[in-house]
Structure 1
Amino acid sequence: MKEQKICLPIYKVAYSICFVILLSLIRGISSVDSIGIAIVPSMALLAIVFCSDTYWIEYREKRWELFKIYSIRKRTQMIFHRLSIQGIYLCVLSLLGYWCFFWQKPFYNTESSIVFIYIPFVMATILSMAFWSVLSMTLVNCFQNIWAGIGISVILWSSLYSAAGKKLLGKWNVFSYVFKDEDQFSWLCGQGVEVLLILLMLFICPIIIKKRG
């Protein structure tokens, strides 16, 4: 409960809920298939801002001297715990936000089951939230500056979520779910890249903490 209060303060919960509601109101969609395409990149941006201070909050709240007493292992465990709490929250928010778009009465092919549309979205959402959350937190820790971490993450997001990013990386783009074509399974390559990068960043997390304080 203590960690939950630290990483999910009321103001974060409030602005994240407002973000999802506004997204469903202003982001037009034409079909059920396009709901996930609208949510995943937008929620990735939210994850960048939402999770950037996962570790840096100790500086901001002036608890750093006490936090530094803990061992590297203890600090790493606390960071992973906070990331898990925030990641689960963002995933649940995204999955619930999916249904907010139905007020627009999007076209739906009744011959296909909505389950086969929703399940890939769930998978893409979970991995996207994990990737962008960990990336933002890692960059902030590396540069020891929250705005540098957010800024670089947003630049990377803009580069990957673009025509150039789609053309350059193709199915290996972390936004492969958004750019998927007729091949219904090629986008899984991009998801595999996300998993590998997430594991790599989590692996180097204690190293960064040790080197950068």
Structure 2
Amino acid sequence: MSMMGKEMKVCLPLYKVLYSLAFAVILGIARGVTHTYEVGIACEAPMALLASVFCADTYVQEIASRRSEVWRLYPMKRKVMCIFRRIGIQECYLLLLGAAGYGMFFLFQDPLPLYAPGTGGESGLHLFMVYLAAILVILNFWGILGNAAACLTRSAWAGIGACLVLWLTVNSTTGDRLLGAWNMFSYTFRDIGDSGDLNWIKGKALCACLCIIIAAVTPKIIRKRG
């Protein structure tokens, strides 16, 4: 088995695949939408929370497992490369799941376009492509944050709890009012009536910068807490 295949077996066990698929299906059924522009809004925040839960055990599972003794013998560079490789695999899976989850709304609810065809407004394909770009950033941020928080606390559950507190703070009217276009969920709170307003990209740029910072400090967290 190739190295990538082994990593996929470790970081994408059957139970994680099953609960994440169930999550996408249930979201598409239970979260009501009326128009197509609401689909991306309905998906972004829940998918971000799923990413933090999904990636929280990327490193701490090595502490709790029988592999921990061997893991401690690895040089730091190898540990870090392994962690980021696993996060990358999980993020690719979550991006595909996010695209599939978007489609679930059309399968179960058949939302209507805000404008009649040919009368202006964003096309369905354009809405989908913008959504993919937005969740590509948001999934990476919450995934790497979930892993870093779990490493810092040496507990996947504590890491998930810390992410949940932040998630509840920014995914709220208070968070929108205080942060505005710099909100991590700026895509959700964007002005949907003005398709030319790209001010919400500031929030995604902030997430991208935070991803780089968290990735840079992760080796130090592992060295201190590992």
Partner of 1:24: 28
Partner of 2:112: 107
- Distance (whole Å) between structure 2 residues aligned to residue 101 and residue 211 of structure 1: 44
Deviations 1:168-195 (A, max 9, x none): 0000001000000136301100000000
Equivalence map 1:120-135=2 (5 Å): 120-135=130-145
SS in 1 for 2:188: helix
Runs of at least 5 residues in structure 2 that lack an aligned partner in the other structure: none
Tell me the amino acid that sits aligned with residue 53 of structure 1. Answer: D
Runs of at least 5 residues in structure 1 that lack an aligned partner in the other structure: none
CA shift for structure 1 position 148: 1.4
Tell me the amino acid that sits aligned with residue 46 of structure 2. Answer: S
1:169 aligns with 2:179: yes
Give the alignment's Cα RMSD to 1 decimal: 1.0
1:160 aligns with 2:160: no
Partner of 2:46: 42
Partner of 1:209: 222
- How many residue pairs match? The answer is 213
- Distance (whole Å) between structure 1 residues aligned to residue 156 and residue 57 of structure 2: 7
Normalization by structure 2: what TM-score? 0.92
User: Which stretches of structure 1, 4 residues or more, deviate above 3 A after TM superposition?
Assistant: none
Partner of 1:146: 156
Partner of 1:186: 199
SS in 2 for 1:106: coil
Matched residues, percent identical?
38
Deviations 1:114-164 (A, max 9, x none): 222111100111111100000010011111122211101001000000011
Partner of 2:63: 59
- Distance (whole Å) between structure 1 residues aligned to residue 68 and residue 61 of structure 2: 9
1:116 aligns with 2:129: no
Partner of 1:2: 6
Deviations 1:101-122 (A, max 9, x none): 0131211132342222111100
SS in 1 for 2:59: coil
